[in-house]
Chain A
Amino acid sequence: MNFQGYPRQNGTIGIRNHVLIFPTVICSSEVARMISQAVPGTVHVTHPHGCGHLGVEKEHIIRTMVGFCSNPNVAAVLLVGNGCELISTEVLAGELKKNRKRFEIVNVQDEGGTTAAVEKGKRLAEMLKQEAQKAKRVSCSISDLIVGVKCGGSDTLSGLTANPAVGYAADLVVSSGGTVLMSEVPEMLGAEHVLARRARNRETAERILQMTSAMEKKILEMGVDIRGTEPSPGNIEGGLSTLEEKSLGAVLKGGSTAVQQVVQYAERPSEKGLVIMDGPALDAVVNTGMVAAGVQIIVFTTGRGTPLGSPVAPVIKVSSSTQLYQKMKDNIDVNAGGIADGSENLISIGEKIFHEILEVASGKLTRSEILGHSEFAIHNIGPAV
């Protein structure tokens, strides 16, 4: 099974050809937005990070930013700094050089203010765009794909229709030699034994259990009842009663193959097959971490309806019910609701999702791309100073 992708000089394969305008710090976020809006065809993010991070959090934010900018869907990056921040353009440039990613730099303080920085940024972004346009799609193997699987705004049908159908597609990706990345550790509590049983060796099984117990310990240390947050109010309205129920339905989206590896948030898998990424469950944070881990495409199931996308990775939305599909057609790419009413089954929808992955990888736009959804969020893991 093949798709049409963009080979990058570092050996990875992009399925999009974005020029990303990336601020290294909140202070230059608006300048990055102004540059991107002045150069149509570029994408950008804004974020509140880049200064005030200590120790492991500093490493976590840098790893995420570097991973995000290094995503294969990004042809080139314009790093936009202010000049006095902790995570400077110099810090990120050093890492992007190691990843052989094409980049240019503009700093607001060096240019003498916003207007001059935007002017220089526009020139550099235009140049990067012209270079990127030379890239051509060629036939690539699924073994070069990392597909992220995610659920958000779940209802009880998510675990009966959309998640198992995505799981079927995930198994097809893995059997074709590709990689599937699943995260959302809070939503593994109550289902971790199912994943640990499927670990490829004892070490991986232990890492799964360590990761879930560390997450539960953090929750317990807060001395609060997780119910009301997990499951969320919308989940409960949709019929999910407990975190365990939500988790058992959520992990179905990873399919049924062996868990090959556990990676940390925003860490690129070194193994093929099903890989689990450590981290929280908040949708935009998971999407950002998966893109930073090298995921080129995300398959996202929803029962309540979630519009989220990503600035650089197409997100395929799968609805759990026909009712949701009809209500939010604008946001949904594939409807798995037919599984509940018997007009379809897990295999027919699973195959449809698999073909959609290949078509989107070859250039077909998803609803989130057409609508311009480009949410970006990194979670803070330490105190900001």
Chain B
Amino acid sequence: MSAAILIDTRDNVATAIMRLKKDDAVSLKAENREISVRILQEIPAGHKFAIRNIRKEEPVIKYGEIIGLATCEIHQGEHVHVHNIEGLRGRGDKK
């Protein structure tokens, strides 16, 4: 059983299916691709982490689709959530 799920080969984030600790090495599979990611901080179960470095304002990809933009640089193995990515839809505050 893998500790995390990578949904689509285009994704730059994976989802932890159990709580991950700092320095855990997680191996991920999607189709023929297999990668290993060292976790940089605690990731709660169900939360996401970067599987490669993501630049500021780069799209964050899950399900092979854009789920938002990075608001700062995100490193491989870092927790990806509301503190470092933002959605672009329904943002009446941005008008």
> Could you list which residues of chain A lie within 8 angstroms of chain B, going by C-beta atoms?
155-157, 159-160, 186, 189-191, 194, 216, 219-227, 230, 236, 238-239, 241-245, 247-249, 303, 321, 323, 340-342
Q: Give the residues in chain A near B94, CB-CB below 8 Å.
A: 225
Choose one: A226, A230, A249, A342; the contact of B63 (CB below 8 Å).
A249
Q: Apart from A160-B5, A245-B68, what are 10 other A-B pairs with CB-CB below 8 Å? A: A191-B65, A216-B90, A223-B93, A223-B95, A226-B90, A238-B46, A239-B48, A239-B81, A247-B89, A248-B63
Chain B residue with Cβ nearest A155: B46
How many residue-residue contacts, CB under 8 A, span A and B?
109
A141 to chain B, nearest CB (A): 34
Q: Please indicate which of the listed interface residues A156, A191, A247, A341 has the most CB atoms of chain B within 10 Å of its own CB.
A: A156
CB distance B90 to A219 under 8 Å?
A: yes
Q: Given A241-B80, A241-B82, are A160 and B87 neighbors across the interface (CB < 8 Å)?
A: no
Are A224 and B82 CB-contacts (below 8 A) given A156-B15, A190-B67, A245-B87? no
Partner of A340, one of B17, B86, B87: B17
Mind listing 12 A-B residue pairs with CB under 8 Å? A160-B7, A189-B89, A189-B90, A190-B89, A220-B91, A225-B92, A241-B67, A242-B87, A245-B62, A247-B89, A323-B45, A341-B17
Given the known interface contacts A155-B46, A157-B46, A341-B1, the answer about A244 and B89 at a Cβ–Cβ threshold of 8 Å is yes
Measured in the bound complex, the distance between the Cα atoms of B1 and A340 in whole Å is 9
C-beta contact mask, B7-40 vs A, less than 8 Å → 1, else 0? 1000000010100000000000000000000000
Q: Which residues of A contact B44 (CB under 8 A)?
A: 239
Q: Is B41 an interface residue (CB 8 A)?
A: no
Residues in A whose Cβ lies below 8 Å from that of B85: 241-242
- Report how far A223 CA is from B92 CA in the complex, Å: 4
